[in-house]
Amino acid sequence: MKGKHLVILMFLAAAFSSAGCQEEKKAAAPPPPPEVQVADVMQKDVPVYQEWVASIDGIVNATILAQVQGYLIKQNYKEGDFVKKGALLFEIDPRPFQAAVDDARAGMAKQQAVLQTAQANLKRILPLAAANAVSQRDKDNAIGSVQSAEAQVLSAQAQVRKAELDLGFTKIASPIDGIAGAAKAQMGDLVGTPQARVLTTVSTVNPIKAYVPLSEREYLKAVERSQQGAKADAEKTAFDLILADGSTWPEKGTFSFADRQVEAQTGTIRVAILFPNPGNLLRPGQFAKVRALMKTEKGAILVPQRAVGELQGSYQVAVVEADNTVRIRGVTVGERVGNLWVIREGLKPGERVVAEGTQKVGNGVKVTPKPFTPKSEA
């Protein structure tokens, strides 16, 4: 019986010893190489675009002012609608101004009567003066009275014109074709005061301007390019307008003008790009991006932007060699083209770089490469 127990104990000891060895072997087994997504280094001709944040503005923005002080009695347009040049927008109560016209006309009539009397008196005195029947003083007084009366008539006529002009200012019309903005005064408001002169704004929006701020460096490059004989090409450059929702405006833009000075606060110069705006969808105050084709990069070396890492101003990529070993390599980068990055130095066509999973690798690490699948942009 004791021999039988001894055999069982030896069997159990051997079993536990074998299991322990297997666990040690499992613990000692190295982890599998990390899976990463790898992209081939490409070489092809690519268009290089540049984008700027742009502010949209009307080609003309006419501020509609109340030129006389009075109470607003009528608004004759619908806010946000298109109005024609000469369309009546607002009316100010004309009664005080009509009364002023009537008073000025009465004053002019009075002065004309005074003039007629003075002229008749002079006509009577001149023959008498010639016959020495009246003194030279009487003659001079008569002539002076006529001249004074003529001046008073001219003054009265000016008063009439001023009163008629003020009466005309009670009807406020649009000076241009355009979109009429929100009214800044309501019926019954006293307008024409220093605090309430602006009534609305009318903007011509077809075509519409997109203002782009160019840095001094960009501006100087553009000037240099134009001086090298590319001015005509620069002016014919087609610009794209990228709206806030990411869509591209269907109409192409063209260069209009560059501002006369560099803004001291920002160090930029404003450049205006004109875009056709059928339907008047684009409105002043919108923000968008203006994109322009700057050049075509011939035989550019390209990798996904996700493959490039930056550390303290230096750029590097993880190159996967033929045996799937990673080597970290410094590169010199160029322009970004879509989701790709132009590499100036450090890579050759056909090499492979880690595009997804760079955080898993280091110099000399073996990897399990998988094809790179770019993530679709939502």
Q: Assign domain 67-90+172-196 to a CATH class.
A: mainly beta
Mean pLDDT, the chain, whole residue set: 86
Return the CATH number of the domain spanning residue range 35-47+297-371: 2.40.420.20
CA distance 271 to 221: 14
Q: For the chain, what are the domain ranges? A: 35-47+297-371, 51-57+204-295, 67-90+172-196, 95-168
Question: In which band, very low, low, confident or very high, does the pLDDT at 255 lie, cut at 50, 70 and 90?
Answer: confident
Would the pTM count as exceeding 0.85? no
CA distance 78 to 8: 103
Residues 6+ apart with CB under 8 A from 270: 211, 212, 213, 214, 258, 259, 263
> In this predicted model, what pLDDT tens digit does every residue of 50-108 receive, in sequence order?
889 999 999 999 999 999 999 999 999 999 999 999 999 999 999 999 999 999 999 99
> In this predicted model, what pLDDT tens digit does every residue of 107-122 receive, in sequence order?
999 999 999 998 998 8
Q: Is pLDDT at 25 greater than 60 in this prediction? A: no
Residue 86 Ramachandran class (φ > 0 left, ψ -120 to 50 alpha, else beta) = left
From residue 303, alpha-carbon distances to 36, 151, 317 in Å are 15, 87, 9
Domain range 95-168, CATH architecture: Orthogonal Bundle (1.10)
CA distance 161 to 108: 11
Asked if 42 contacts 348 with a C-beta cutoff of 8 angstroms, the reply is no
Asked if 276 contacts 262 with a C-beta cutoff of 8 angstroms, the reply is no
Q: What angle do CA 25, 30, 35 make, to 5 degrees?
A: 145
Domain range 51-57+204-295, CATH architecture: Beta Barrel (2.40)
> In this predicted model, what pLDDT tens digit does every residue of 191-206 receive, in sequence order?
998 888 899 999 999 9
Q: Is pLDDT at 22 greater than 60 in this prediction? A: no
Give the residue carrying structure tokens 């903007």: 203
Pairing of strands 198-215, 326-337: unpaired
- DSSP assignments along 279-319, one per residue: GG-S-TT-EEEEEEEEEEEEEEEEEEGGG-EEETTEEEEEE
How many other β-carbons are positioned within 10 Å of the β-carbon of residue 352?
22
Question: In which band, very low, low, confident or very high, does the pLDDT at 378 lie, cut at 50, 70 and 90?
Answer: very low
Return the closest-CA partner of residue 293 out of 242, 243, 234, 361: 234
Do the domains 51-57+204-295 and 35-47+297-371 match in fold? no
Percent of the chain clearing pLDDT 70 (strictly above)? 88
